[in-house]
Amino acid sequence: MSNKIIKAGIIGSGFAAKFHFEAIKRVYSSCVKITGAWSPNQQRLQAFATQKNIMAFESLEALIDASDILHVCTPPSTHENLVVNVLRQEKHVIVEKPFTGYFGDGTDTFNGDIFPRKEGLKQAMASVTRMLEAEKKSKGSIMYAENWIYAPAIQKEREIIEKTGAQILWMQAQQSHSGSHSLDYGKWRLSGGGSLMGKGCHPLSAAIYFKQVEGRTRNGKSIMPKSVSARTHTITRMPGFKNEGYLRDSYTDVEDYAMIHVVFEDGTIADIVASELLHGGVKNHIEVHANNHRTICNIAPNNAMQTYNPSEEILKDVYVVEKTGSKQGWSFVSPDEAWFNGYQHEMEAFYGTITFGNPIESNSQLAACTIATIYAAYVSAEQQGVEVPVSLIHT
C-alpha cells in the first residue's frame, strides 16, 4: 500500500454518490481521504454528508480546490460541464455512465420523440469532443466509471482472451430490469435517451472492450465498431398496455426497449438488448463466442447463493438483490452485490492509476466509442433499422 494520500471529492448526493462512497472505502492499495461532497441540492447534500460523516462543501469550486480527484455522480446532462471544469483545474475525474449525450434544446418542453436523430448524434459527438479536448490539455485524466469493465467475470474473460489469443466471433449481451432508480430517467432532456442509453451503455461498453482487448493482444490495435443497426420501442406507453404495478411506466419521451446489432471492423458482431420490461431483478449478462472458447458472464443474477423463502415476511429486513419484485420462493441472493458488479474493483483500479501509473482500462476512448455507437443506433432506429456507420473520435 502506498503512503501517498489522495484527496477525493464527490460531486452529487444521490444513488451513485452513495455507492461511490462505499467503493472508495474498500480501496486497499492507495490511501484515500474523502474531502467531502457538493451538490446543487443542498437539502439532500446535508443529509448525505451527515450520514457519511463527511464535509458538505458550499461551492463546487471549493471542493475541486480541496481535492486531487473528483467523482462526478450526477445526471448525464451535467457531465460535460463538470468534467471540463475539473480538468481545467488539472485534476483527475471519475465520471459516471452514461458519459454524455444530447439533452435537447435547453427548454423544459423539449420532446425526445420527435427531434431528428442525426442532430442528436451531431450534438452528442460535439460534447464528447469537447470533453476529450479538455482531457488532452489537462494534467488530469478521465476515468470512465463503467463498472461492467471491472466486474470479476469480465476481467477473467479478459485474461482468457489475452492468454489464448482468442478471436471473438460474436457476442450476445443484455441489461434489463423493471425501471431506473432515478426520477430524472424517462425524460430525454435529462437522461439523453431511454433504455438504449441508460441500460445499453453497460453491455455495449463490455462488448467494445472485449474487442479492444482482442485487437491489442493479437494485432497491437483495438478492433472498433464499424456500423450499427437498431430498433427501439415504447411498450409501456402503448394505449393497450395494462400496468399491473410491477413495471415502471412513467417514461415521457424515451424508449423502454432497444435492440442493436453491432458490426466491428473485422466483420465480427455483437447483439445487445436493453429494456425496462424485466421482472425478477436485474439481468446483467454477456456471452462471448470465440474461435477457441465460449464464456457466459452472469454478473446478475448468478447462483453464488440461492435461498428458498416460504413467506415474504421472513426476509422483510434482509436485502436480497437489486430490483427483485418478491422475496418469496427461490431467490438468487447476492452475498456481495457491489463485488459482483465491479464497483470496488473499478475504484481500486482508478486509484491505482493515480498512485502507481497503471493504465486505465475504462478510459475516455471507451466512453467516446460507446456514445458514438449509441447515437448512431438512434439514427438507425429512426429509419426502422437501416445500417448506420459509427464515426469514432481519435485524439
pLDDT, tens digit, 9 for 90 and up, residues 271-291:
999 999 999 999 999 999 999
Q: According to the model, what pLDDT value does residue 1 have? A: 66
Cα(45)–Cα(23) distance, rounded to whole angstroms? 19
- Is there a contact between 174 and 274 (Cβ–Cβ < 8 Å)? yes
Every domain of the chain and the residues it spans: 5-145, 147-341+362-389
Percent of the chain at pLDDT exceeding 90: 95
CA 85 vs CA 82, 145, 289, 393: distances in Å? 5, 18, 42, 21
pLDDT tens figures, 215-237: 999 999 999 999 999 999 999 99
In total, the chain counts a number of residues equal to: 395
Write down the pLDDT at residue 185. Answer: 85
Fold classification of 147-341+362-389 (topology level): Dihydrodipicolinate Reductase; domain 2 (3.30.360)
Choose among 359, 355, 340, 369: nearest CA to 143. 359
Q: Give tens-digit pLDDT for 304-361.
A: 999 999 999 999 999 999 999 899 999 999 999 999 999 999 999 999 999 999 999 9
| CATH match of 5-145 with 3.40.50.720 | yes
